[in-house]
Structure 1
Amino acid sequence: MNSSEDISIRVEGRVGRITLTRPKALNAVNQAIVDGMYAALKRWEMDPDIALVLVDAEGEKAFSAGGDLASIYNAAKSGEIASANSFWRGEYRLNAYIDRYPKPYVAVMDGIVMGGGVGVSGHGSHRIVTDNSMVAMPECAIGLITDVGGSYLLTRAPGHMGEYLGLTGARMKGEDAIYAGFADVYVHRARLEDAKAALVAEGDVSALARFEEAPPPSALARDQQIVDRLFAGASVPDIMDALRIDGSEWALKALGAIEKGSPLSAIMILSAVRDASSLERALRNEYRFVSRVLEHGDFVEGIRAIVIDKDRNPTWRYKDIDAVPAEIIALMRSEAEGGDPDFLN
């Protein structure tokens, strides 16, 4: 069934099951996972015996902490930018396919869910979080952009919450993910295995209703008013100025998070979130950026600082927002070389 050491793909009853099996790598999404998931979903779409798809992961720490950053770093260092871009094209095609999948797609977002992990869960029809979930889009801190369709999810969050989450990389608990529109169903982790077993036994997503619980109050909901007031600015400098002027502990924490990230990425994240009128448009804009980021952006340095050397002290190309050249911003927004990919086919 196209299984590998990185992913388990099988059929149980009327359920197509996909399990990420890289727990030591926090189930980072790599080429084998992208290819295996896409092929399996294509088969099951046409199989009348498959009623739903259930996606989970091995290990207690993470559903998926993101994409395989070390592989992308090595590709960049070897000058194999084309292979990295090929991975992103395949990954984004998978994200778009999950969004329009005609059968129930149940993603179990238990543990850490970031970046690429959001891409293979957040676009599903039924997204489960638990009291152990931690969801985030922290790409600004590593010189990337909120990709895998993340800018589309963020733009649909209440008020200006999407800008806040994208620029600061703030972490969401399960209840926050539901509030922000990244998830739908809250199940206590202690009941998670029973919930999955019921889905497999019955082949019907209605089984989730027996395990779903009301989530705790969301901290994001509590902060909505201040987020809307301070993240409404027309530009990143405007937002940063508003945070400085406010001067509250909450505002200065948010400001510090933005200041630590890549200035170029911050500009492009705000642009992407505010231009994501559809998932297709979001993926197009995201690919335009990522297809150039290894040559013209901060991603290689971000991976070095966070993943390779782990000194957490990146040296960005531009010292602050004002130093980012207008021509670089224009380049990152322009049509991809060879034309924008079609992620719907």
Structure 2
Amino acid sequence: MTEPVLFELHPTENGRRIAVATLNAEKSHNALSLAMIRLLAPKLAEWREDPDVVCVVLQGAGEKAFCAGGDVVAVHHAIRAGDFAATDAFFREEYALDYAIHSFNKPFLVWAQGIVMGGGVGLLAGASHRVVTERSRIAMPEISIGLYPDVGGSWFLSRLPGRLGIYLGLTGASFNAADALYTGMADHVLPSGLRPDLLPELARLPWQGTERADKRLLSGHLRELGRSASLELAPSAIRAHYDAIQSLTDYDTVDDMVAAITGYNGADEWLRGGAHKLMAGSPTSMRLIVEAQHRARLLSLKEVFEMELTLSRQCCRHPDFAEGVRALLIDKDGAAHWSPASLAEVDEALVASFFEPPSLD
């Protein structure tokens, strides 16, 4: 049986080691499963304490995807079986892994090539060195499955300029490498063709074994690679549409914001795509996305993960999440039956209930 995560240790020329973890599930676009999480978490803890390991690289197998998100199909099956202990464990352990990456004590490089969605963005967001390529396609499309941008998304989206985080959460809009650099969700962009040479080049660097010096060393190296490559990127749609996004979200209520975004009838395909995705999304998710980001602005990262764990546990106990996964990923009929069916029916009491820990099942 093929291991879902592959681990390697590569020696450096000065006697240190670079640790590499590869998500190894190409057929599912490296969707993050609980099995993967349970392999990664202890290995990262081991590498954190190993003085010989000076850098960690996390990547996905193949060229199509770094990680297309959490394994929500498995979560769906657990929900249908009433196994909330399993769904609780998935989100608890996933968020603990994400937080471990955010707080890692050594250079942590994520090579985010191809599809990077949902749980994949969670793995990317916490890395000290976030690398995207001309092939990167990033999104937090949870609105389409009755969830919300989790994995710390409430924290990092709420800290984007203006109301970009609200817009990206509500529309699930896909964005590219230039967008990721513009929003600060990536640090470096490199040609995808450089990937085979990355580890040999890292092995030649003069690693010191101290966090600050080694992070500077890696940053400098990646910066030079980027400058040497002179990669021509597709333009940033988010930068081009910044003013329009601010206008469409400049409202005091979720209802008015949603009406403005879905009411867009201009010729711009990017804005039309966002309107279409929002229109088809879960009404409950619409309110949860905005409320979670509002609350996250006053919280620490750790507190946000605690809040999101409660939110996600509650989402598993309400009908939209399982129904959204069914419609999009299992039956693929694109005809989710949301409950409540309209935004007007999602009242404050329902929204508030998602932020309270569920009772014991």
Whole-Å separation in 2 of the counterparts to 1:124 and 1:244: 34
1:223 aligned residue: 241
1:261 equivalent to 2:281? Answer yes
1:178 aligned residue: 181
List per-residue Cα deviations over 1:218-248 (Å, max 9, x = no partner): 2211111111121132232111233366643
1:49 equivalent to 2:52? Answer yes
- Tell me the amino acid that sits aligned with residue 266 of structure 1: M
TM alignment of 1:141-220, pairs within 5 A: 141-202=144-205, 205=218, 206-213=220-227, 216=233, 217-220=235-238
1:274 equivalent to 2:280? Answer no
- Tell me the amino acid that sits aligned with residue 264 of structure 1: T
In the TM superposition, residue 180 of structure 1 has moved relative to its aligned partner by: 1.7
1:343 aligned residue: none
1:31 equivalent to 2:29? Answer no
In the TM superposition, residue 210 of structure 1 has moved relative to its aligned partner by: 3.0
Please give the secondary structure, in 1, of the residue aligned with 2:124: coil
> Which residue of the other structure, out of 327, 351, 356, is the alignment partner of 1:329?
351
Between the two proteins, the alignment pairs up a number of residues equal to: 336
CA 1:53–1:270 in 2, change beyond 3 Å: closer, same or farther?
same
CA 1:238–1:326 in 2, change beyond 3 Å: closer, same or farther?
same
8 Å contact kept, 1:16–1:50 = yes
In the TM superposition, residue 274 of structure 1 has moved relative to its aligned partner by: 2.1
Whole-Å separation in 2 of the counterparts to 1:12 and 1:75: 38
> Which residue of the other structure, out of 300, 310, 324, is the alignment partner of 1:288?
310
Whole-Å separation in 2 of the counterparts to 1:262 and 1:246: 19
> Which residue of the other structure, out of 8, 14, 19, is the alignment partner of 2:6?
8
CA 1:249–1:320 in 2, change beyond 3 Å: closer, same or farther?
farther
Whole-Å separation in 1 of the counterparts to 2:263 and 2:237: 23
List per-residue Cα deviations over 1:171-191 (Å, max 9, x = no partner): 011111121222110001122
Whole-Å separation in 2 of the counterparts to 1:23 and 1:88: 22
- Tell me the amino acid that sits aligned with residue 161 of structure 1: L
TM alignment of 1:304-343, pairs within 5 A: 304-335=326-357, 337=359
In the TM superposition, residue 337 of structure 1 has moved relative to its aligned partner by: 4.5
1:123 equivalent to 2:126? Answer yes
8 Å contact kept, 2:172–2:277 = yes
What TM-score comes out, normalization by structure 1 length? 0.92
> Which residue of the other structure, out of 237, 251, 271, is the alignment partner of 2:255?
237
CA 1:289–1:50 in 2, change beyond 3 Å: closer, same or farther?
same
What TM-score comes out, normalization by structure 2 length? 0.88
List per-residue Cα deviations over 1:179-222 (Å, max 9, x = no partner): 12221100011222223431244355243233214673422111
Whole-Å separation in 1 of the counterparts to 2:110 and 2:96: 18
Q: Identify the range of structure 1 (235-244 vs 72-81) with the bigger mean alpha-carbon deviation.
A: 235-244
8 Å contact kept, 2:152–2:301 = yes
Structure 2 unmatched runs, 5+: 12-16, 208-216
List per-residue Cα deviations over 1:52-104 (Å, max 9, x = no partner): 10011111111000011221111111110111111100000111111111111
Identity of aligned residues (%): 34
